[in-house]
Structure 1
């Protein structure tokens, strides 16, 4: 499935942070985001900061928190693009089993097993 044929899902990204004058009062933001998102997450965060006129002194902490939250959220809904560990192992095993080097590897393994057994018997 290519990214063009994949259906996009719109999810609402929620974030809240305390005001600087009262730690019990929170600003709450809700931003709709298309998943999978094709752009840069850092650029998206900067656009949101500018759009909601978030004070400059909050930017450094908010960007790091938003970027982490956004990546975690995207990973939850996005299609996995890489191979899983099981798929990599299966491909390597298949290649080894159908390789001409299999006989050599089996002979070496057998000689190692014999050496270990003879050492254990002594």
Structure 2
């Protein structure tokens, strides 16, 4: 497959090359690698890959923050929490007051302290 200069093969190779980006420790060198990779992608004339490279360039400072934090934090936890909060607040029951919305969030997110004013069912 490598002997053919197909766009799909080149796109696959560029994708695989990007995997080395995660191995960097220094934000400086990771940024240099990212810039070189984006330049190669932009010269590849593969439109979907160029779209990815433009997105990566636009979010470059945020991506490099992961290296500055020494890869200790993942935004996956925060994104999951935000999704759960949005789903809870979109439920069709409607919350008339902020306090009711707060109580619903306590119930949905679990393992959080419940306020004293919740209903008691006997």
Taking structure 2 as the reference length, the TM-score comes to 0.26
Taking structure 1 as the reference length, the TM-score comes to 0.26
Structure having the higher Rg: 1
Specify which structure has the higher proportion of helix: 2
